Structure 1
């Protein structure tokens, strides 16, 4: 059975993706800082859970020592600090960059090294509106997500010709969850629908690979 590794797993998009890929016949490995929150998802999907701080090099190396044979690797962690630019706390800004961008580099590098040996694999990086437009009082998140997008584009240009599919998914809008219920007809992205887009990327034929796909609710402004 093929294996999928989802880093930054929780009860939203990553949970929908884990359920869908398990249904499609994948062995699932999940990584998160707090794996206790994954108990129900592990039981539902038969997944293996690993405690991992995605911005910690040693943690990521250990994760890939255990799950490095994954054919699909999804990087989903995100960290955000907001506030007036002049009031931002440098340590919080640094953490945002570490989780959003540096952690993606660590995971993608570990994945790419192993995939290159096989000559195949898929690396998917979860982006956000902030990766294409910087919002007021959200400079750190924009910095992190812009860096993530640049990482994906650079990796795609280098690795696509070597058989590794790299794609960046811009999530342009809020995702429906128990903490963020629907506020109107399809006003929030359905995490199950986003997961279907990820599956489409995984299944794309190499003659027509996408390096980036943007998804948004039909009522979302551009």
Structure 2
């Protein structure tokens, strides 16, 4: 039985990790899903496996995000679940960073999330229902050396989530920020034999997202941290 109280979903910044796992679980619950990314060619296997609809978007472009929501609404109805999973990374010493690259990285992590939350709110507020899940990171809680742009974007994302939760929760919209505190397992990053489950299993992360969606409004979480059992914090 599907006990997720939402009928449609849009996943922005989709790829082969967390967002793919979330998509599979939502589709298993018979919820139609649109997956969006700058390059949708990489989503072909996920689309074939799940029946999700892939649409292109540059999340840093407000007009493209607005068009994405309009097309999503035309395809599956106004999204009642919006997952923002896009982020930008630029590494290096602060003195050497290219300002244009930093601007773009912060735009992907933070401004794109704002555009998505704004479009979601315009549809969810009149309906009095919806869920917005924002994928954060350790960098949104503590900034690491040589990673200032990522920290800037993720700190801004966390602030957006907290502000949006306080504004939108009383209007029936569940906003939650998920801190991914550790490395996410992938084909190119397997756990070493002597440290099993030392990275986050994307399927396990996705299950936490689904658990958030199932929360009763009398006990909503605005923030959730997930980390491997051996991760320092």
| TM-score normalised to structure 1 length | 0.98
Q: Secondary structure at the match of 2:230?
A: coil
Distance 2:49 2:120 in 1: 26
Is residue 2:19 matched to residue 1:10? no
Say whether 1:197 aligns with 2:208.
yes
Q: Which moved more, 1:67-76 or 1:144-153?
A: 67-76
Match of 1:64 in 2: 69
* 2:43 is the counterpart of 1:38: yes
User: Which stretches in structure 2 are left out of the alignment for 5+ residues?
Assistant: 1-5
Q: Aligned residue for 2:146?
A: 137
How does 1:101-120 map onto structure 2 within 5 Å?
101-120=110-129
| Moved beyond 6 Å, runs of 4+ | none
Note the C-alpha offset of 1:117: 1.1
Structure 1's unaligned 5+ residue stretches are none
Per the TM alignment, residue 25 of structure 1 is displaced from its structure 2 partner at its CA by: 1.5
Please report how far the alpha carbon of residue 93 of structure 1 lies from its aligned counterpart in structure 2 after TM superposition.
0.7
- With normalisation by structure 2, the TM-score equals 0.94
Name the residue aligned to 2:3: none
1:175 aligns with 2:184: yes
Structure 1 CA distance for aligned equivalents of residues 50 and 126 of structure 2: 29
Q: 1:82 aligns with which of 91, 110, 116?
A: 91
| CA deviation map 1:162-210 (0-9, x unaligned) | 1000000000000001121122210100000000000011110000000
Superimposed CA distance per residue, residues 24-69 of structure 1 (whole angstroms, 9 cap, x where no aligned partner): 1110110000001111100111111100011111110110111241
Comparing 61-70 with 145-154, greater Cα deviation is found at 61-70
